[in-house]
Structure 1
């Protein structure tokens, strides 16, 4: 397997407040201009796991998931399914989605992202 953690995706209800807080708390910065419902923070210096902030209206505390990245998405998804993962049913993927949503054996969602070819 060649899976690596790409990012932790953190559900937030106030994007600007979350960007300010997590940037200061972790000494992170915006990777690029944020979208209204999504922002990516990376370390100010050096390497580290990125923190992706996803706007949510859910008041539930379980709004977080992990993203894994791989050069071989189809193969890794098949391997994870063989290990006991399941597919998220009724997920509405965007037309150009580079991720697959799976469930671990406890029902926790996570994504397997296809690495860009030029990375």
Structure 2
């Protein structure tokens, strides 16, 4: 017997705002059972993979994430994706890009959860 991940759950202050940010980042869609006024907010990928569930909690984030996402642009470059994500509300935490084009950038979502932006598949295969 094994288990499968159904949802990855974010504790947060504003479920719908944070879920909307991640929906923009990942191209996910609303779960069909989401209804305005619900406290929780679920977004899902088109491929049947795990959804992201956002649940409001009273306490704020207090330390570095013990787990985080590494995202890869599906089109364009890492640097273009970093600029896009900054434009939708991310903030830059640290920059690990190297002169040879390798490396990654650490961003944070609007509630401070860190995630990394890596090079696209095309960028990785061009080296």
Q: TM-score, normalised by structure 1?
A: 0.45
- More strand, by proportion: 1
In our comparison, the structure showing a higher alpha carbon Rg is 2
